[in-house]
Structure 1
Amino acid sequence: MRASNALRQLADDGLTHVELTWIEKRIEHWIRFGRVENDRIVDRRRRIVSFRPGVVFAFVRWAANDYGTIMSRIDVVRAVAAEEPFTTLPFVRPGGEILLSIQGWPKVSKVLAAIDAADEAGVDPCDAAPDHWRHVHNRIAAGLEPRAYTLERHQAWLKRVKVEG
């Protein structure tokens, strides 16, 4: 079964589905972080991972040809519930709330460094404040360094969620 057909069949289950492809040195799609609800193997090169509504995940896409890298991109996305508005994104069904969208390897590597910094601070990146990923997007897009996500920032985010609760 083709991955796109499999995605269409899964579209009505309330989850967000992401098609991952791995053709070594040609096309590589992977999840950098996020709590996967379901992982379905389509064939030896493709699989579909699914996320519950509200889960934040990072989707990395990279492609190359005989002359080198032709595309690199990272998107940090929040999976949405059925009644929520969303933005479409290639290989993501139905789509999601895009918190960060960066292209070009130098910028993508800065986002990966920001993800690593959150990990090193002891915070799972999928639990970080969505505003942090918007901040990282805006700073990198403007050619600036993003502020690190610290444990103190995370605790402030958790208090804000509790108050808004």
Structure 2
Amino acid sequence: MTQRNPSQISDTAAASNSDDFITRVELTWVAKKIEHWIRFGRPSCEQLLHRSRKVVGFTPDTIFAFVRWASNDYGTIISRIDIVRAVGRAEVFQTLPFVRPGGEILLRIDGWPKVERVLHLIDAIEVMKLNPVDVAPDYWRHVHNRLTANQEPRAYTIEQHRAWLLRRRTQP
């Protein structure tokens, strides 16, 4: 029997506790069948499971866009985008397929026309030289609410972004 140094045991326990703070997203890519990918986000880790599958991890408060698309012999069966904020261990969260344990869902849109609209809004943000990860979470909620009501969302502006950055600095 191998004895372990107590410091090794606590290091192992600390490592498993820090893993609890990672939101894991399972990505799959089978061309023209199943395509799950991250449109934007800053993964903190990545694990290749198979040639067509991997898992990426996000630390708490990281925002990412998770796109899911699938088809069968008759056409598209799912087209969805979710913009999610990764949560910490003590935070409440909503569950989401392929996302463990879940996250705070800022935007949840399905149906290709609306998903495509969100993708265009993301592109417009990137044209302004902004990373969508840094966009105010309230903007993604606004886009979700407007598209759900079949209304046109307002464009994200540099002024809105500056206000968000100032507000974020003053929050505890």
- After the TM superposition, list the runs of 4 or more consecutive aligned residues in structure 1 that deviate by more than 3 angstroms: 9-13
User: Structure 1 regions of 5+ residues with no counterpart?
Assistant: 1-8
Q: Which has the larger radius of gyration?
A: 2
Q: Which of 32, 49, 63 is residue 39 of structure 2 equivalent to?
A: 32
Structure 2 CA distance, aligned partners of 1:11 and 1:163? Answer: 27
Q: Which of 147, 155, 170 is residue 163 of structure 1 equivalent to?
A: 170
Q: Could you tell me which residue of structure 2 aligns to residue 110 of structure 1? A: 117
Structure 2 CA distance, aligned partners of 1:109 and 1:81? Answer: 30
Greater CA drift, 113-122 or 49-58: 113-122
Report deviation, 1:10: 10
User: Structure 2 regions of 5+ residues with no counterpart?
Assistant: 1-15
Structure 2 CA distance, aligned partners of 1:156 and 1:26? Answer: 42
Are 1:62 and 2:69 counterparts?
yes
The TM-score with structure 2 as length reference comes to 0.88
The TM-score with structure 1 as length reference comes to 0.91
8 Å Cα contact 1:76/1:133 also seen in 2: yes
Are 1:126 and 2:133 counterparts?
yes
Report deviation, 1:148: 0.9
Identity rate, percent: 61
Are 1:143 and 2:153 counterparts?
no
Report deviation, 1:120: 1.1
- How is 1:35-114 mapped onto 2 (pairs within 5 angstroms)? 35-114=42-121
**Are residues 38 and 59 of structure 1, via their aligned partners in 2, closer, same or farther at CA, if it must alter by over 3 Å?**
same
Q: Which amino acid aligns with 1:130?
A: P
